[in-house]
Amino acid sequence: MSNISIHNIAQDGHLYHEDKQKIIYLTPSEPLKYDTNKWFYKEMPALEQWFKDMTSQYELHQKQDSNHLAFTFPENERLSQEWINAIKDRGFQLGILEFYIIEGTELAQLTSRKDIDIKEVDESNIEDYLNIYYSFALPYGKPFAIESVNNARQTILQKKDSKKRLVAYVDNEPVGTVDVIITDETIEIDSFGVIEQFQRQGIGSTIQAYIGNLANERPVILVADGEDTAKDMYTKQGYMYQSFVYHIVKEEVN
């Protein structure tokens, strides 16, 4: 697993521009999604350059009705107090994403409930998946949730999906979903969640054990919000912390 890093995490969206300093993602089909409309810095910019980049990003986002600014900083790059002050003074929210990894064979050993049925998403159960997907997206705003569901539905029905999307059922009731991104090197867990009233009942562990069996000898990777309690669950389940990135978002810039 030594050659696996946060750069193995799949990145959605359209790659608009790349140079030695940064990567620009710009995705007109989903303008409200922060992660597909952002700048990722390969190298830490000077503050003065970041001020200029804010203006450039604002102009690009205006053209496609993206009403936010978003930047991700280099892996394991700590922000100085000067940077933190500048970020907060300009109305950005500061967050941290943490990269975790576990061997698939180890994940497969998690306790599984036999009464949970895990199915791949297709035309027959797409609405089960999308209803849960919508509920998880709704806290970020109804327009974003609608945009996300519409894009997911189109991707699934047109069979252009790069992900294996799964739904977990208890007594034929959909209770959780996860997206799995499969490569030759890794299995990535994304958009993983269990409906609140069904949490802490072994459903999440069952889903992950299923993914561990899918991974077999490959490592399983994911990115977790550094301020979310979910990362504590991953640590207890045997995931190993590897690295972090800071990311910042400014909403409602108009």
Report the CATH number that the domain containing residue 43 is assigned in CATH.
3.40.630.30
The verdict on 229 and 131 lying in the same domain is: yes
CB 52 within 8 Å of CB 91: no
49 and 138: one domain?
A: no
The answer to whether residue 57 sits within a structural domain is: yes
Residue 1 inside a domain? The answer is: no
H or E element, residue 53: helix 47-63
Residue ranges making up the domain that contains 227: 102-243
The reply to whether 151 and 124 lie within a common domain is: yes
122 plus 186 within the same structural domain? yes
39 belongs to a structural domain: yes
Same domain, 111 and 211: yes
Let me know whether 165 and 234 are in one domain. Answer: yes
Residue 38 within a domain:
yes
Residue 203 lies inside a defined structural domain of this protein: yes
Q: At what angle do helices 142-157 and 126-137 cross, to 10 degrees?
A: 150
| Count of the separate structural domains present in the chain | 2
Q: Count Cβ neighbours within 10 Å for each residue of 230-249 and write b for 16 or more, e otherwise.
A: ebebbeebebeebebbbbbb
Bridge partner list, 220: 102, 187
Does the residue 66 lie in any domain? yes
- If asked whether residues 194 and 138 sit together in one domain, one would say yes
Query: Are residue 82 and residue 112 in the same domain, yes or no?
Result: no
State whether 133 and 235 are in the same domain.
yes
In a domain, 111, yes or no: yes
125 and 174 belong to one structural domain: yes
Q: Is residue 50 part of a domain?
A: yes
**pLDDT score for 233:** 84
For the entire predicted model, the pTM comes to 0.91
Residues 87 and 111 in one domain: no
| Residues paired with residue 40 on neighbouring β-strands, in sequence order | 23, 72
| Alpha-carbon distances, residue 161 vs 151, 153, 214 (angstroms) | 11, 10, 18
pLDDT of amino acid 227: 76
Are 84 and 144 members of one domain? no
Low-confidence ranges of the chain (pLDDT < 50): none
